[in-house]
Structure 1
Amino acid sequence: MSLRQYIYISTALELQEDDIRSILESCMRHNKEKGVTGLLLYNGRNFLQLLEGEEADLKWVLDRIKLDARHSGISTLEDEPCEQRACPDWLMRHIRLLDDVEDRRKRLDEQLPEVLNPRLRRIILNFASLN
């Protein structure tokens, strides 16, 4: 078994609340089926998603994500082995980024799991600074 953590960003302009809800429902359904956990951030323009799971299961989920026309320009930020999941109880945690930059970084930092690799935490917090 080879547990991995994968982070990507993508562009998704002008999504409505129903679109986000649909994406989250799909994420949770497929992630439960494949045993994948993680979180999803959306800042109104871009997604950042952290996925955790076995390599073959992550590949299956990522292949589905790449076919989703609601976003484009998928760019991998991290893809690395890990010994334990940082988000074992989150099929797909959605964290909204609506506050001003300082408030959103602080609130996000409070919500991220303590065991998250510091480098991955920094990547996620830096994403929260984007407008």
Structure 2
Amino acid sequence: MHRLVYFSNVSIELNFFAIEAMVEEAAERNRRMQISGALHYNGLNFLQVLEGPADALTLLYLRIRKDARHSGVVKLANERIFARSYPDLGMKLCCGAPKPLGKPREATPRVQDLPAMIDAFFGFGHAPAFAEPR
């Protein structure tokens, strides 16, 4: 099991309704690929956390990099994990300020840094957990 995290700049033509539709389509596709995760959206950028089999994440990331709905894709993390932070297969859309949901489910140093990295990206400080799904 692996986790891949990236951020990107949202295309100016992409509105919120299109983002919601994109997440619904991704949720179905991700379930078939045994991938779970969340798409964090702050109005200008995406930060996406994907979890699942390494091969499936690699294929999905290659597809994501070519997607014209965003640009400037930068991979922030690609690491082995022992448990999912997002156990439900599919995709969730998270917007706005992160809200604490408790401690991360794993205790490796890199995993503990991931929530702080997400919070720093959105500029909301260093809350202890991931954003609340919308």
TM class, shorter-length? 0.7 to 0.9
User: 8 Å contact 2:104–2:112 — kept in the other structure?
Assistant: no
Query: Does residue 127 in structure 1 map to residue 117 in structure 2?
Result: no
User: 8 Å contact 1:13–1:44 — kept in the other structure?
Assistant: no
- Which amino acid letter does the alignment assign opposite residue 75 of structure 2? T
Provide closer, same or farther for how the CA distance between residues 18 and 112 of structure 1 changes in structure 2, counting only shifts above 3 A. farther
Q: Equivalences for 1:63-74 in 2 at 5 Å? A: 63-74=62-73
TM-score by length of 2: 0.80
- Over aligned residues, Cα RMSD in angstroms? 1.8
Q: Which residue of 1 aligns with 2:87?
A: 88
Query: Does residue 115 in structure 1 map to residue 105 in structure 2?
Result: yes
User: 8 Å contact 1:52–1:58 — kept in the other structure?
Assistant: yes
SS at match of 2:76: strand
Q: Which runs of 5+ in 1 are unaligned?
A: 98-103
Name the structure where helix makes up a greater proportion of residues. 1
User: 8 Å contact 2:2–2:53 — kept in the other structure?
Assistant: yes
- Which amino acid letter does the alignment assign opposite residue 51 of structure 1? L
Identity of aligned residues (%): 30
Query: Does residue 5 in structure 1 map to residue 3 in structure 2?
Result: yes
Q: Distance in 2 between matches of 1:38 and 1:5?
A: 9
Q: After TM superposition, which residue ranges in structure 1, 4 or more long, deviate above 6 angstroms?
A: none
Provide closer, same or farther for how the CA distance between residues 87 and 58 of structure 1 changes in structure 2, counting only shifts above 3 A. same
Q: Which runs of 5+ in 2 are unaligned?
A: 125-134
User: 8 Å contact 1:4–1:81 — kept in the other structure?
Assistant: yes
TM-score by length of 1: 0.82
Could you give the per-residue CA deviations for residues 62-90 of structure 1, whole angstroms, max 9, x where no partner exists?
12212211001100111111111111115
